[in-house]
């Protein structure tokens, strides 16, 4: 068996003191494209943000290409409300280490940098690549993937449409030369036409061999792009469905809610 | 009023405006990036002037004005960089970070001021200006050095704007200011970028302090007035664009110099505060812009 690309072992986390996801175990193999599906507000974004190092995991391990990204052991509960507790509390995972490792997260509904132009944003994005090769080629590829962005090159991100902003976010993720790219609800708020356009772009990214984790509420979009579908419910992985028997929307609802819908 | 008197008052107002622009921009850059008001900014102005004064003294080698400027600006950049980790970073995860930073920067201001008092004593000092000649400007006799100060202040601001817009490093600073989380997910070292911002701010404060110190006298508490004026400028102009506080600085400088002539020195702060309150009532986001903060 080849080594796992990303492995989560008993990962638990949330927004203290509210726990959002519990005991998540998951293995993603190199070259795999995985979809996450689950109801709103059940912790998919929280899980991805924890993996990306924005939030501290409470317990469990995050391993990427065999290396542990977070600190060992469980997070201590807050002991004092009087002292400046933050001064003594170390972060248990650093976003920079995660980016260094090549694990790149594209945020849900990302506002990016509202006062910067598309050109400026894409100029600083390769900083995250940390010298991984291929940035020049990726720049050219982005023009082909998102021809729309060409026309908006000098616009501030603030003036972009939701779809265009999503494209910039994904382009930023790609310029980091990811070894695994996590897309959080890329189709959120997009028109059907734009969704098809984006779906084509993600398909092209997939063909370049970048492993993907895609979280989305749109079943058709998701099933057309991934090799494996993971159902995420009440803060934990409830089911994994291989590519052979990808369900459609109705079947999926049946699986998740037991025919109540 | 004679035309030459008018020109004289206008020119001294413009010079004052240039100095305020330099100081207020330093304050505004920290506010838009770190999200806190730095009440030690006035102390940076003071310390910057004293460091430059020391460098020009025979005991320290009696270097020239240019060397003194370079030394002081470098020292203050380093101090600003280090102080970020002492004054602001320890509280950045606290929800009351703005309030805590008010207290920690006020504390730093007090420590710096008293440190200056202990080191250099309470007596007034002056940095010898490198140019002493006067020139006739539309009938008004004006210090040639005033024009140099104005030009250097504007040039420094222009260079800072260019740095923020055109260089990759400047762009990463703006990115960290606009969306910290997204900047972290891009692998940027946000605390280091914030420290650099405070360093740049301290360096501009030092430059302003040296200029003030070569126009007037310096003493350990002379930074309090520049701090207050910078606050007025930032509130008056807003921080919607990089240039907003710069315009406001000239408005304040010219208003101050005319009110000092017509109403007397004691009334000009009252007038400035009245202007500030009027603007806060009518256009709380500042005269020059419509959004609250950007860079
Ligand atoms: N910053 C926050 N502080 C506290 N609680 C939060 C915060 N953000 C989200 N939550 C809560 O955490 C839970 C999980 O939210 P999360 O955004 O991870 O869900 P999600 O599965 O990504 O939903 P969606 O499909 O709508 O994006 C929700 O109950 C939400 O209210
Ligand atoms: Mg989400």
Q: Is the predicted pLDDT of residue A134 greater than 80, yes or no? A: yes
User: How far away, in angstroms, is B13 Cα from ligand 1 center?
Assistant: 54
HEC assignment per residue over B128-177: CCCCCCEEEECCEEEEHHHHHHHHHHHHHHHHHHHHHHHCHHHHHHHHHH
Instruction: Identify the sign of the CA torsion A243, A244, A249, A253.
Output: negative
Long-range contacts made by residues B278-287, C-beta under 8 angstroms, separation at least 24? B279/B235, B279/B236, B280/B235, B285/B238, B285/B240, B286/B235, B286/B236, B286/B237, B286/B238, B286/B239, B286/B240, B286/B244, B286/B248, B287/B236, B287/B237, B287/B238, B287/B244, B287/B247, B287/B248, B287/B251
Q: Is the predicted pLDDT of residue B293 greater than 70, yes or no? A: no
Residues of chain B above pLDDT 90, percent: 76
Question: A44 with A215: CB under 8 angstroms?
Answer: yes
pLDDT tens digit string along A182-202?
999 999 888 888 888 889 999
Q: Is A120 in the B-facing interface, judged by CB distances under 8 Å?
A: yes
pLDDT band at residue B200 using 50, 70 and 90 as cut-offs = very high
What is the pLDDT at residue B294?
64
Q: How far apart are CA A30 and CA A227, in angstroms?
A: 12
What is the pLDDT at residue B255?
94
User: What's the whole-number mean pLDDT along residues B33-39?
Assistant: 94
Nearest bound ligand to the CA of residue A40: 1
Buried b (16+ CB within 10 A) or exposed e, A30-61: eebbbbbbbeeebbbbbbbbbbbbbbbbbbbb
Instruction: Classify domain B3-122+144-282 by CATH architecture.
Output: Orthogonal Bundle (1.10)
Q: Is A135 in the B-facing interface, judged by CB distances under 8 Å?
A: no
pLDDT tens digit string along B135-176?
888 888 888 999 999 999 999 999 999 999 999 999 999 999
What is the pLDDT at residue B57?
93
Closest CA of chain A from B285, distance in Å: 17
What is the pLDDT at residue A211?
95
pLDDT band at residue B268 using 50, 70 and 90 as cut-offs = confident
Is residue B67 classed as helix, strand or coil in its secondary structure? helix
Q: Is A179 in the B-facing interface, judged by CB distances under 8 Å?
A: no
User: What's the whole-number mean pLDDT along residues B218-235?
Assistant: 93
- C-alpha count within 13 angstroms, C-beta hemisphere, residue B281: 6
User: What's the whole-number mean pLDDT along residues A220-245?
Assistant: 89
Q: Is the predicted pLDDT of residue A25 greater than 70, yes or no? A: yes
Residues of chain A above pLDDT 90, percent: 66
What is the pLDDT at residue B3?
87
Computed over every residue of chain B, the mean pLDDT equals 92
Question: CB of A235 closer than 6 A to ligand 1?
Answer: no
Q: Is A112 in the B-facing interface, judged by CB distances under 8 Å?
A: yes
pLDDT band at residue B1 using 50, 70 and 90 as cut-offs = confident
Residues of chain B above pLDDT 70, percent: 98
User: How far away, in angstroms, is A33 Cα from ligand 1 center?
Assistant: 24
User: What's the whole-number mean pLDDT along residues B42-68?
Assistant: 94
Q: Is A201 in the B-facing interface, judged by CB distances under 8 Å?
A: no
In chain B, where the domains are located: 3-122+144-282
Q: Is the predicted pLDDT of residue A260 greater than 60, yes or no? A: no
What is the pLDDT at residue A2?
61
* H/E segment holding residue B234: helix B224-237
What is the pLDDT at residue A91?
87
For residue B100, give the chain A residue with the closest CA. Answer: A84
Q: Is the predicted pLDDT of residue A82 greater than 90, yes or no? A: no
Structural domains in chain A, sorted by start:
6-71+92-257 (3.40.50.300)
Q: How far apart are CA A13 and CA A81, in angstroms?
A: 21
Q: Is the predicted pLDDT of residue B292 greater than 60, yes or no? A: no
Of residues B107, B12, B187, B201, the one with CA closest to residue A129: B187
Closest CA of chain B from A189, distance in Å: 20
What is the pLDDT at residue B291?
59
What is the pLDDT at residue B180?
94
User: What's the whole-number mean pLDDT along residues B266-272?
Assistant: 88
Q: How far apart are CA A125 and CA A104, in angstroms?
A: 12
Computed over every residue of chain A, the mean pLDDT equals 90
Whole-prediction pTM value?
A: 0.93
User: How far away, in angstroms, is A203 Cα from ligand 2 center?
Assistant: 21
pLDDT band at residue B32 using 50, 70 and 90 as cut-offs = very high
What is the pLDDT at residue B205?
98
Best residue in B187, B190, B290, B295 for a mutation probing chain A (most A CBs within 10 Å):
B187
Most confident of A23-32, B31-40, B51-60, B75-84: B75-84
Question: CB of A19 closer than 6 A to ligand 1?
Answer: no
Question: B245 with B239: CB under 8 angstroms?
Answer: yes
What is the pLDDT at residue B16?
95
Kindly list the residues from chain B whose CB atom is less than 8 angstroms away from the CB atom of residue A112: 179, 182
Q: How far apart are CA A49 and CA A159, in angstroms?
A: 26
Q: Is A168 in the B-facing interface, judged by CB distances under 8 Å?
A: no
Instruction: State the ipTM, two decimals.
Output: 0.91
Is there a contact between B185 and A104 if contact means CB atoms under 8 Å apart? yes
For residue B166, give the chain A residue with the closest CA. Answer: A120
Question: CB of A40 closer than 6 A to ligand 1?
Answer: yes
What is the pLDDT at residue B287?
79
Q: Is the predicted pLDDT of residue B282 greater than 70, yes or no? A: yes
- C-alpha count within 13 angstroms, C-beta hemisphere, residue B250: 12
User: What's the whole-number mean pLDDT along residues A203-214?
Assistant: 93
């Amino acid at each position: 068996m080849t080594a796992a690309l990303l492995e989560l072992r008993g990962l638990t986390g949330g927004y203290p003191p509210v726990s959002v996801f519990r005991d998540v175990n998951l293995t993603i193999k190199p070259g795999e494209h995985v979809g996450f599906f689950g109801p709103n507000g059940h912790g998919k974004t929280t899980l991805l943000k924890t993996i990306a190092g924005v939030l501290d995991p409470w317990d469990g391990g995050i391993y990427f290409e065999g290396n542990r990204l977070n600190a060992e052991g469980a997070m201590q509960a807050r002991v004092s409300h009087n002292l400046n507790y933050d001064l003594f509390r170390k972060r248990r995972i650093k976003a920079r280490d995660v980016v260094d490792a090549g694990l790149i997260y594209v945020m849900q509904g990302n506002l990016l940098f509202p006062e910067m132009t598309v050109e400026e944003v894409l100029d600083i994005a390769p900083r995250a690549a940390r010298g991984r090769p291929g940035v020049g080629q990726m720049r050219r590829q982005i023009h082909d993937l998102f021809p729309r962005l060409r026309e908006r090159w000098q616009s501030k991100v603030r003036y972009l449409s939701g779809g265009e902003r999503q494209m910039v976010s994904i382009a930023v993720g790609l310029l980091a030369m990811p070894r695994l790219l996590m897309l959080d609800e890329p189709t959120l708020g997009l028109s059907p036409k734009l969704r098809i356009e984006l779906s084509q772009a993600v398909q092209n990214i997939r063909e370049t061999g970048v492993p993907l984790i895609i979280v989305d509420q749109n079943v058709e979009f998701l099933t057309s792009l991934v090799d494996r579908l993971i159902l995420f419910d009440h803060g934990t992985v409830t089911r994994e469905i291989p590519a052979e028997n990808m369900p459609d929307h109705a079947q999926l609802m049946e699986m998740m809610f037991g025919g109540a819908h | 009023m004679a035309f030459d008197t008018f020109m004289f008052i206008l020119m001294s107002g413009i010079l004052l405006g240039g100095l305020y622009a330099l100081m207020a921009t330093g304050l505004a850059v920290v506010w838009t990036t770190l999200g806190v008001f730095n009440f030690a900014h006035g102390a940076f102005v003071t310390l910057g002037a004293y460091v430059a004064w020391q460098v020009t003294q025979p005991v320290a080698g009696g270097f020239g004005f240019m060397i003194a400027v370079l030394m002081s600006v470098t020292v203050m950049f380093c101090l600003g960089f280090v102080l970020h980790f002492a004054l602001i970073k320890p509280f950045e995860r606290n929800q009351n970070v703005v309030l805590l930073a008010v207290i920690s920067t006020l504390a730093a201001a007090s420590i710096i001021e008293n440190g200056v008092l202990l080191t250099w004593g309470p007596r007034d000092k002056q940095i010898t200006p490198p140019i002493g000649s006067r020139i006739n400007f539309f009938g008004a006799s004006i210090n040639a050095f005033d024009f140099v100060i104005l030009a250097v202040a504007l040039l420094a601001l222009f260079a800072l704007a260019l740095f923020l817009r055109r260089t990759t490093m400047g762009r990463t600073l703006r990115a960290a200011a606009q969306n910290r989380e997204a900047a972290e997910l891009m692998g940027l070292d946000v605390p280091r970028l914030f420290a650099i911002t405070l360093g740049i701010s301290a360096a501009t404060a030092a430059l302003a302090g040296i200029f003030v110190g070569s126009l007037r006298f310096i003493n350990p508490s002379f930074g309090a007035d520049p701090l207050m004026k910078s606050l007025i400028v930032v509130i008056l102009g807003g921080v919607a664009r990089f240039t907003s506080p710069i315009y406001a600085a000239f408005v304040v400088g010219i208003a101050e110099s005319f009110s000092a002539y017509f109403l007397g020195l004691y009334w000009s702060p009252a007038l400035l505060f009245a202007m500030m309150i009027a603007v806060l009532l009518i256009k709380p986001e500042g005269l020059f812009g419509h959004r609250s903060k950007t860079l």
